[in-house]
Amino acid sequence: MSALKRSMTEPGITFRTIIGLEVHVQLRTKTKLFCGCLLEFAALPNSLTCPVCLGLPGALPVMNREAVRLAIRLGKALNCTIADFAKWDRKSYYYPDLPKNYQISQYDKPLCQEGWLDVPGEDGVGRVGIQRAHLEEDAGKNIHDTPGCTLVDLNRTGTPLLEIVTRPDLTSADQAYAFCTELQKLATYLSVSEGSMQKGQMRFEPNVNLAIVRDGIEYRTPISEIKNLNSFKAVRAAIEYETRRQLQDWMADNSYLFGERPHENRGWNDGRQVTELQRSKEQAHDYRYFPDPDLVSVEVGRNAALQGELNRPIDELPVARCLRFQAEYGLSANDAETILAERATADLFERAVEAGAPPKVAAKQFVNVWSKLANEYRRSIAELGIEAKRIGALAKMVEQNTVSASAAKTVAAAMLDSTDGPDFLAEQLGLIQVVDEEELAKWVDAAIAANEKAVQTILTNPKKAKASEGFLRGQVMKISSGKADPGRAGELIAKRVAGLKDQED
């Protein structure tokens, strides 16, 4: 899609949309950024708090090493420079979900600076500049739906966030959408974040304005910041709406211009699909940033664990790895993407292939068999804990027709509760496919004898012949307790029925 658009209503006017994004990504730590309280979604309100995250008098923050490591990991993947010296600052504002009435954040010395993320789009890959990514603590939650009273839950207070700020390089709602999804893929792939939208682990704040050209003169509309979007769809819809609105507002009043009108904070009304101006009682914000005297600096070069994270070779990122999976293993784009949803799962897949698994069959099993089991247990495939070797062996058995694809599901389920190999388990379960032609012939004959109606259908009704053949194949599998090779059974059924037809003719 071209970034330059023509106004629908007034000829002679073109405009482009200028978008920058602020994205908050919740880091995947067990505990909060500055205290040992667990991070758990939907826990009993105020059951995961302590003097530190309640902001009680005398309590002091201590940095969570893992949060800093994860921030370095994502910063590197975003091609950022990781600062030698980063520090913590206090950002002051009053709000009931911020018990200290200041947020611990990083102001002038953020951990990650100046990077980029490549985002695939219709016109090819677009590079979006990253201005900075800094660590900060989340606030709690205000609940407004009780009459006359706001309720405050501080369980979320102190959750570690990485705030990623892009350059205003994005030019369309679609590109912003693509940026957000790519960022989510990257963060979940690197295990930096769970990336769950439902749990509010990614939140987006687009800054939008327009550059409008009329009669060769460029006009810029005021920047509006759309606060706290929590879905990709909302990002796209809000930017699309805001583009239309700003154009209309400018056309209605040509003094609706950057520099003449204030920066606007707007909220997204999902029900009405519009952005709404947020009125602030407070005057222009004055956050009074200053260095937090309770915390010391982060100096990556002077800490082994942080330096280790920095030195780790840059991983092959999902976009490149997806292309390689297609080229090297012949996977479909869909299968490759499913496997690449999480790095540990993709790594497991590659180890299974190294252990001798036929890649395409293994990929089908990841998508159809293992992912279903993982879902049942609410884990990722890698977290099921099955060794690559056993996963590979099962794929090999299917490739060699030792078990059928459907029997493989049963074997896979059995592998979860056992350390035995799939061959042993298939044997025990009686799922080894029989190749003995005589035995197969007996099962096919029995199936045909018991289902004359189906045979007749095949012979007389070409429209339903396929379905009936499938039915007979199923009967063979049933009679054989799954031991028949369904492919060969199908062939034999066709042969036998053809014979019957010949007889009739």
Partner 1 sequence: MTEDCASFFSRKRLEDRLVDTPIDESQVRHVAQLARLKLSDDEIRQHTVDLVAILGYVEQLSELNTDGIAETTHPLPLCNVLRDDEPQPSLTPDQALANAPQKRDTFFGVPKVLNQEGG
Partner 2 sequence: MTTLTETVESIRAGQTTATQTIQACLERIEKNDGHLHAFVSVDSKRALARAELIDNALKAGKPVGPLAGAAVAVKDNLCTDFAATTCASRMLAEYRPPYNAHVVECLERAGAIVLGKTNLDEFAMGSSTENSGIGVTCNPWQPDHVPGGSSGGSAVAVAAGMVPAALGSDTGGSIRQPASFCGLVGLKPTYGRVSRYGLVAFASSLDQVGPFTRTAADAALMLEAIAGYDGRDSTCADQGVPRYAEKLGRSLEGVRIGLPAEYFGEGLHETVRASIDEATKVLVDLGAKLVEISLPHTSYAIACYYLIATAEASSNLARYDGIHYGHRSKNAQDIMELSASSRGEALGPEVKRRIMLGTYALSSGYYDAYYKKASQVRTLIAQDFAQAFEKVDAILSPVTPTTAFAIGEKTDDPLAMYLADIYTISANLAGICAVSVPCGFDPAGLPIGYQLMGAAFQEETVLAIAHQYQQHSDFHRRVPPL
Residue 153 or 469: the one with the smaller Cβ distance to partner 1 is: 153
Contacts of 44 (CB under 8 A, 6+ apart): none
Is 148 a binder of partner 2 (CB under 8 A)?
no
Site string for partner 2, 87-106 (x = CB under 8 A): ---x-x-x-x--xxxx----
The mark string for 2-31 relative to partner 1 (x by CB under 8 A, - otherwise) is ---------------------------xxx
* 282 lies in the site for partner 1, by CB under 8 A: yes
Torsion angle of C-alpha atoms 242, 243, 248, 254, degrees rounded to 10: 100
Q: How many residues bind partner 2 (CB under 8 A)?
A: 32
- Structure tokens, 127: 């590079």
Burial class (CB in 10 A: 0-12, 13-18, 19+), 304: exposed
The candidate with the shortest Cα–Cα distance to 504, out of 458, 446, 437, is 458
Number of residues forming the site for partner 1 (CB under 8 A): 67
To partner 1, the closest distance from the beta carbon of 102 in angstroms equals 9
Contact 83, 108 (CB under 8 A): no
296 CB neighbour count, 10 Å cutoff: 11
What tokens does 279 get?
């009125």
Among residues 145, 215, 260, 286, the one that binds partner 2 under rule CB under 8 A: 286
CA dihedral 346, 348, 350, 355 (to 10 degrees): -170
Q: Which does 81 bind (CB under 5 to 8 A by kind): partner 1, partner 2, none?
A: none
CA distance 239 to 84: 36
| Separation in Å, CA 418 to CA 4, 7, 394 | 60, 65, 14
104: CB partners within 8 A, 6+ apart: 33, 34, 61, 88, 89, 90, 91, 136, 137, 292, 295
Residue 100 partner contact from partner 1, partner 2, none using kind-dependent CB cut-offs of 5 to 8 Å: partner 2
Q: Is 66 in the site for partner 2 (CB under 8 A)?
A: no
Identify which range of 303-311, 395-403, 407-415, 419-427 contacts partner 1 by CB under 8 A: 303-311
Q: Is 377 exposed, middle or buried (0-12, 13-18, 19+ CB in 10 A)?
A: exposed
Residues 154 to 213 in contact with partner 1, rule: CB under 8 A:
154
Picked from partner 1, partner 2, none, the partner binding residue 151 (CB below 5 to 8 A depending on kind) is partner 1
Task: Classify residue 10 by burial, with Cβ atoms within 10 Å: 0-12, 13-18, 19+.
Answer: exposed
Near partner 2 by CB under 8 A: residue from 279, 281, 378, 453: 281
Give which of 32, 89, 87 is closest to 62, Cα–Cα.
32
Quote the least distance from Cβ 16 to partner 2, whole Å: 32
Query: With contact defined as beta carbons under 8 Å apart, do 496 and 489 qualify?
Result: no
Q: Is the distance from CB of 18 to CB of 208 less than 8 angstroms?
A: yes
If one asks whether residue 66 binds partner 1 (CB under 8 A), the answer comes out as yes
List 82, 83, 139, 388, residue binding partner 1 (CB under 8 A): 139
Q: What is the DSSP letter of 369?
A: I
State which of positions 351-410 bind partner 1 (CB under 8 A): none
Does 47 engage in binding with partner 2 (CB under 8 A)? no
Among 145, 215, 260, 282, binds partner 2 (CB under 8 A): 282
CB of 476 to partner 1, least distance (A): 55
Q: Is 47 in the site for partner 1 (CB under 8 A)?
A: yes
Among 1, 4, 38, 56, binds partner 2 (CB under 8 A): 56
Least distance from partner 1 to the Cβ atom of residue 447, Å: 59
Q: Does 141 bind partner 2 (CB under 8 A)?
A: no
Residues 220-259 that bind partner 1 (CB under 8 A): 227
C-alpha angle 205-210-211 in degrees, rounded to nearest 5: 140
Q: Does 151 bind partner 1 (CB under 8 A)?
A: yes
What does the binding site for partner 2 look like in residue numbers (CB under 8 A)? 51, 54-63, 90, 92, 94, 96, 99-102, 150, 152, 154, 281-282, 286, 288-290, 293-296
What does the binding site for partner 1 look like in residue numbers (CB under 8 A)? 29-31, 35-38, 44-51, 54, 62-68, 91, 93-98, 101, 103, 139, 142-144, 146, 148-154, 227, 265, 278-283, 285-288, 291, 293, 295-299, 302-303, 305-306
